[in-house]
Chains A and B, each alone.
Chain A
Amino acid sequence: MNITVGLTDVLLASPLIVLFLFSLIPLTIKTLRGNKEQNPAATIVIALIGLGSTAGLLLLFGGSDKTAFNNQLLFDGLTQWSALLAIIASAGALIMMYENPATRGRQFSELIFLALNSILGMIILVAAVNLLTVFIGLELMSLSLYLMIAMSHEQKISKEAAIKYFVLGSFASAIFLYGVSFVFGSSGSVNITDFMQSAATLVKTNKLFLFGIVFVIIGFCFKVAIAPFHAWAPDVYQGSPTPVTSFMATAVKAVSFAAFLRVIATQPLVGSQNLFDVMQWLAVITMTVGNVAAIMQNNLKRMLAYSSVAHSGYILVGIITAGISQNSAFSASSVMFYLFGYSIMTMGAFAVVSLIERSENSVINTDDLAGLAKRQPALSMCLTIFMLSMAGLPPTLGFFGKFYLFSAAVNEGLVWLALWGVINSVISVFYYLRPIVVMYMKEGDADVADNSLHATTVLVYVCAFLIIAIGLFSGPLFDLVEKSLG
């Protein structure tokens, strides 16, 4: 086999290379200083510059529809947008990491190194068209993440969360890999572009291929917390340091869904009615389980974890729509748009939680927000916007996300899924209203941990602004995404 690496390959992969090099800088500096931690502000600035240049290179070379390294990585609109989304969501999480008591401290350089490598894994994951490369991306992302969770200064539950996530995550990776082996054995290829046209027929005619695809899908369902593969999410979300939770709930979920979208776009659902039915029920169950369980939570992070499961259900509706649609650009862009909105509001909500945490062992229950509106009117207003946006009230980003998602579903005749979606938004109102009730209508002494101006505070304001502004003027962004995915 003749392997050549040309200039195009390097240019296309330059975002990845640059990001990896940047991830080494803080660690190298620390080593050169005799294992003494440098100023975290410098570390975070380096990391953000790294993310910024990666994003710039992605914009420059990313959306050209070219493949690199002998058809292993595809740089198309989906890669570009989901990678950019991952970078934006991660940047927010990094800012939180810099200021949260559970993550700042002695090992900050190592944490940033791991975070940047996790982002590197994400970009590989979304760019990969070879299922084995997808696996490499998935593992690079996940392994870094397990460590990031375990590195917390928090005493006990973060270790438990890391182990739980590691064991179940490895299990899911194994299932994924097992599925890939069946796909390879039955079709002779693991490259998504190879069975782009033939997957629908292969699923129908070849039972082993169907078997493989089902396992690949289960692997993804685990990563994005689709019920009944969601059981890890609440524990891990609660146990992880808040910035890492935000990182997981936004960036990791967004790219996993993007890769999921790539696999489902080969249209195995068109070939197998049974698989199509099962996926629809998974979506319904996920929405319902997430929302109903969230009602019963007192812990704010756990509540957000279940809410994130519910959002996975909504997004799965979009994924299914894209999987059966003949013109999937519309449904795919509705998924991307929803992921964008979801990431912004989730990031904002976790940023508020992060600001309230006083120490690494803080447990924030919903009732701990009592009286926050009195002391922090602006912050409470922002959290209100995040909650209403998650519940899907206009004129927020969350509303338009749902609007596009359900429009796509109704267009493909999946009215009953859209019906479940809207019924579930009503159920979700129960628990999204609770923090608002507690903040505004109950007396209490909730306050931020430290009243001086924080980068995280600015992040919260930016998120709230984006939710309203992009919500009101969502047309141009949606058109842009749809054009590049078409």
Chain B
Amino acid sequence: MLLSVVLFLPLVFALILIVWPQSQTLRHLALGLSLIEFLASLAVLKNFDQASAALQMVEQYSWIPRFGITYFIGIDGISLMLIMLTTFLTPIIILGSWNSISEKVKGFHVALFVLQTAMMGSFLAMDAVLFYLFWELSLVPMYFIVGIWGGSRRIYATVKFFIYTMAGSVLMLLAIIFLMRLTPEVTGGAVSSSLLDFYKLHIPFVAGEFFTAQTLLFFAFALAFAIKVPLFPLHTWLPDAHVEAPTPGSVVLAGVMLKMGTFCYLRWVIPLFPEAAEHFAWFFVSLGVIGIVYGALVAMVQPDVKKLVAYSSVSHMGYVILGIFVMNQYGVNGALYQMLNHGISTGALFLLIGMIYERTHSRMIVKYGGLASALPIFTIMFVIVTMSSIAVPLTNGFIGEFLILMGTFQFSPLAAGISVTGVILGAAYMLWMVKRVFFGPKGEIVTHAEEDKEHALHDLSLREWAVMTPLIILIFWMGIFPNHFMDYSKKSVDHLIANKHNYTLEVK
């Protein structure tokens, strides 16, 4: 029951906001409600048994019996942390959008809450049709968030986002239908769309032939998720969407939505098609490595800070794919950790860029320079988050990237060697950007602000402190005590790695 409450509470909140009168209290209400949701998810965390790899707090009710479709949700170590990330980021996003969203405030918060339910649904769903429903539902609010509150090319960006994602997922729908058709052999006659029944299927695999059931199904699923991640060369929607999205949109997109793709590799692709996943691992590892280096190189030459961070996302998500497809303990644990890290550090970067944009209305690096003298505290925050993003020890990013690279080394020293250059390039473009924006000679914006007292730059307000503090704390907490977080997922990940060829989840 608790899990359903956590899942649907945001949807209820959205309905409350629809009927709430348009007023100043709306933002306060939304913030309060999102905190309630966070508390509810803490209850899930408290009831979660980290000593078990089983699927916990399971709820299953019949929905469309003719096709064996059920309302079936459950949580395990792999999805738990992503649920926590979602509920943790939402209040921060609402607080962070306090000033930047000034029009249609109600609609924005409604879309955000619907999006929250959709994203959590795709993490929790254990039924293929239910999962597909949430997966596609998450498109609609994001489409509106980018399209209504976005920048000047928002319509192009949002339609591109929608069509890219939809194109990937319809093939997955066909694959789901096909898998459902196979289920009678394991359920004893009835069609079923339960993921646990899918796990029991043994889909024939022939190495070296493309047109075999498992290979085709594998690619149908993998394509859908690769677009969402986004994996090079399917990443082109992401920079557009990030640049045009309003700050909170970028934070949700980078923070949680991209993780839907990588999470689903662990939940769906590897357990369902282990042979194909192993056989094509080199392919995904190569794409991951290319993505790391390519993303970093492209990020380096971006004149727009936000676009730079967007391409750094491509690079960072390359690491996650790398960690997943090397399929050993270090790699997958690191990948899961890196998902959280990326959510926090890139989310924080987008928030910081949003704050500076609100003050100066520009994101062009050349116009900045010497910002540290005008905004010292802001600069400190930005540097800390940068450190996390480039994986400096004691920050969370270090743990994730280190584990992934260790796992990759076991898989292929060559791949590890090339991806290490990504770490160096990552440090290079981020630090170079920090140097050009915050240090060095004073740029156009800073000199203008110093001359004109009316447009003086103000350092962080109390609200912005409140936005950033939890993120900064988490960056260090996760960097210094990784076990506090990894202990929750370790059992499940080990179980997946050890049993991927006959994966099954115990239900508790």
Q: Tally the A-B contacts, defined by beta carbons under 8 Å.
A: 79
Is residue B234 within 8 Å, beta carbon to beta carbon, of the partner chain?
no
**B154 to chain A: closest CB distance in Å?**
7
Whether A388 pairs with B170 at a CB distance below 8 angstroms is: no
Stretch at the interface among A155-163, A253-261, A414-422: A414-422
Q: Which residues of B contact A475 (CB under 8 A)?
A: 63-66, 69
B432-485 interface with A by 8 A CB criterion: none
Does B206 sit within 8 A of A, measured CB to CB? no
Among residues 129 to 147 in chain B, which have CB atoms less than 8 Å away from a CB atom of chain A?
Answer: 129, 132-133, 136-137, 139-140, 143-144, 147
Complex alpha-carbon distance, A399 and B154, angstroms: 27
- Complex CA distance for A199 and B376, rounded to whole angstroms: 86
Task: Indicate with 1 or 0, residue by residue over A399-439, a CB within 8 angstroms of chain B CB atoms.
Answer: 10001001100110001001100110110011001000100
Cβ-based interface call for B377 (8 A): no
Could you say which of A388, A411, A426, A441 contacts B154, with CB atoms under 8 Å apart? A441
Q: Smallest CB-CB separation from A392: which chain B residue?
A: B170
Given A394-B136, A426-B166, do A441 and B148 touch, yes or no (CB 8 Å)? yes
Instruction: Write the nearest CB–CB distance from A410 to chain B, whole angstroms.
Output: 5
Flag if B136 contacts A415 (CB, 8 Å): no
Write out the residue numbers on chain B whose beta carbons fall within 8 Å of the beta carbon of A395. Answer: 133, 137
B174 on interface, CB distance cutoff 8 Å: yes
How far, in Å, is A423 (CB) from chain B's closest CB? 7
Residues of A within 8 A of B159 (CB): 430, 433, 437
Contact B163 A479 (CB under 8 A): no
Pair A388/B140 contact, Cβ less than 8 Å: yes
Any B CB within 8 A of the CB of A232: no
| A415 touching B132 in the complex, CB below 8 Å, given contacts A441-B148, A474-B64, A475-B64 | no
**Nearest B residue to A418, CB-CB:** B174
Number of B residues near A (Cβ < 8 Å) is 33
Residues of B within 8 A of A419 (CB): 171, 174
Of the candidate stretches B177-185, B257-265, B334-342, the one touching chain A is: B177-185
In the complex, what distance in Å separates the CA atom of A482 from the CA atom of B64?
13
What string of 1s and 0s marks CB contacts (under 8 Å) between B330-370 and chain A? Answer: 00000000000000000000000000000000000000000
Chain A positions within 8 Å of B177 at CB level: 403, 406-407, 410, 418
In angstroms, Cα B171 to Cα A224, docked, is 28
Residue of B nearest to A394 (CB): B133
Please tell me if the beta carbons of A437 and B155 are within 8 angstroms of each other in the complex.
yes
Measured CB to CB, the closest approach of chain A to B61, in angstroms, equals: 12
Shortest CB–CB separation between residue A472 and chain B, in angstroms? 9
Task: Verify B139–A393 contact, CB threshold 8 A.
Answer: yes
In angstroms, Cα B183 to Cα A410, docked, is: 14
Asked if A478 lies at the interface with its beta carbon under 8 angstroms from chain B, I say yes
Give the chain A neighbours of B132 by CB distance below 8 A: 394
Contacting residues, chain A, for B163 (C-beta < 8 A): 426, 429-430, 433
Question: For residue B170, which residue of chain A has the nearest CB?
Answer: A422
Please provide the chain B residues from 156 to 171 with a CB less than 8 Å away from any CB of chain A in the complex: 158-159, 162-163, 166-167, 170-171
Q: Verify A403–B170 contact, CB threshold 8 A.
A: no
Q: Considering only CB atoms, which chain A residue lies closest to B163 in the complex?
A: A429
Report the bound CA distance from A441 to B69 in whole Å. 37
- When distances are taken between beta carbons in the complex, the residues of chain A under 8 Å from B129 are 403
* Chain A residues in 8 Å Cβ range of B20: none
Contacts of A430 in B (CB 8 A): 159, 163
Partner of A437, one of B64, B133, B147, B166: B147
**Is A441 in contact with B174, judged by CB distance below 8 angstroms?**
no
A residues near B167, Cβ cutoff 8 Å: 426
A410 and B136 form a contact (CB under 8 A): no
**What is the bound-complex CA distance between A304 and B129, given in angstroms?**
28
**Contact of B283 with A by CB under 8 A:** no
Report A310 CB to chain B, min CB distance, Å.
14
CA distance A391 to B132 in the complex (A): 15
- CB contacts (< 8 Å) of B170 on chain A: these are 422-423, 425-426
Main secondary structure of the interface of B (DSSP, over half): helix
Q: Check B210 for interface membership: any CB of A closer than 8 A.
A: no
Q: How far is the CA of A164 from the CA of B180 in the complex (A)?
A: 46
Distance, CA A403 to CA B132, complexed state (A): 11
Query: Does B26 interact with chain A (Cβ within 8 Å)?
Result: no
Q: Does A166 have its Cβ within 8 Å of any Cβ on chain B? A: no
Decide yes or no whether B427 CB sits under 8 A from chain A: no
Q: Which residues of B contact A411 (CB under 8 A)?
A: 181
B144 A440 Cβ-Cβ under 8 A: yes
B505 within 8 A of A: no
Chain A residue numbers with a CB within 8 Å of B144 are 440
Contacts of A482 in B (CB 8 A): 66
- Using CB atoms, name the residue of chain A closest to B67: A407
A-chain residues with CB within 8 Å of residue B171 when the two chains form the complex: 419, 422
Given the interface pairs A393-B136, A410-B181, A441-B155, the reply to whether A422 lies near B66 with Cβ below 8 Å is: no
Question: B residues within 8 A CB of A479?
Answer: 65-66
Would you call B497 an interface residue if the criterion is a C-beta within 8 Å of the partner chain's C-beta atoms? no
Q: Given contacts A411-B181, A441-B147, are A406 and B174 in contact (CB under 8 A)?
A: yes
Distance of B73 from chain A, by nearest CB (Å) = 15
B173 touches A (CB below 8 Å): yes
Q: Which residues of B contact A415 (CB under 8 A)?
A: 174, 178
Interface centre among B63, B139, B148, B159 (most CB of A within 10 A): B159
Q: How far is the CB of A336 from chain B (nearest CB, A)?
A: 14
Q: How far is the CB of B481 from chain A (nearest CB, A)?
A: 40
The docked-state distance in angstroms from the alpha carbon of A12 to that of B174 is 42
- In the bound assembly, the distance between CA atoms of A411 and B159 in angstroms comes to 33
A393–B165 alpha-carbon span in the complex (Å): 12
Cα distance A190–B396 when bound, in Å? 78
A391 to B69, CA, bound (A): 22
In the assembled complex, which residues on chain A have CB atoms less than 8 Å from the CB atom of B133?
Answer: 394-395, 399
Interface string of B171-212 (1 = CB under 8 A from A): 101100110110000000000000000000000000000000
Chain A residue nearest in CB terms to B144 = A440
Q: Given the complex, which residues of B lie within 8 Å of A437, measured CB to CB?
A: 147, 155, 158-159
Q: Contacts of A403 on B, CB cut-off 8 Å?
A: 129, 173, 177
Closest residue on chain A to residue B150 by CB atoms? A441
Cβ of A53 to closest chain B Cβ, rounded Å:
32
- CB neighbours (8 Å) of B64 from chain A are 474-475, 478
Q: Give chain A residues whose Cβ lies under 8 Å from the Cβ of B136.
A: 393-394, 399
A395 to B159, CA, bound (A): 20
Q: For residue A425, which residues in chain B have a CB less than 8 angstroms away from its CB?
A: 166, 170
Min Cβ gap A341→B in Å is 15
Question: Which of B69, B140, B148, B174 is the one whose CB lies under 8 Å from A393?
Answer: B140
> Please, which residue of chain A has its CB at the minimum distance from the CB of B134?
A394
Assembled-state Cα–Cα distance A391/B177 (Å): 18
With A and B bound together, what is the CA distance between A479 and B62 in angstroms? 14
Q: Contacting B180 at CB < 8 Å: which of A394, A407, A478?
A: A407
Contact indicator B162/A433 (Cβ below 8 Å)? yes
Q: How far is the CA of A437 from the CA of B146 in the complex (A)?
A: 11
Complex Cα gap A430–B158 (Å):
12
Besides A407-B177, A425-B170, A479-B66, 20 other A-B contacts (C-beta < 8 A)? A391-B166, A393-B137, A393-B139, A393-B140, A394-B133, A399-B133, A403-B177, A411-B181, A419-B171, A422-B171, A423-B170, A429-B166, A437-B147, A440-B144, A440-B147, A441-B147, A441-B154, A441-B155, A441-B158, A478-B64
What are 22 A-B pairs with beta-carbon distances under 8 A? A388-B140, A393-B137, A393-B139, A393-B140, A393-B166, A403-B177, A407-B180, A410-B178, A419-B174, A426-B167, A429-B162, A429-B166, A430-B159, A430-B163, A433-B162, A433-B163, A437-B155, A440-B148, A441-B158, A475-B63, A479-B65, A479-B66
Q: List the 5 shortest-distance A-B pairs measured between CB atoms, nearest first.
A: A475-B64, A422-B170, A394-B133, A426-B167, A441-B147
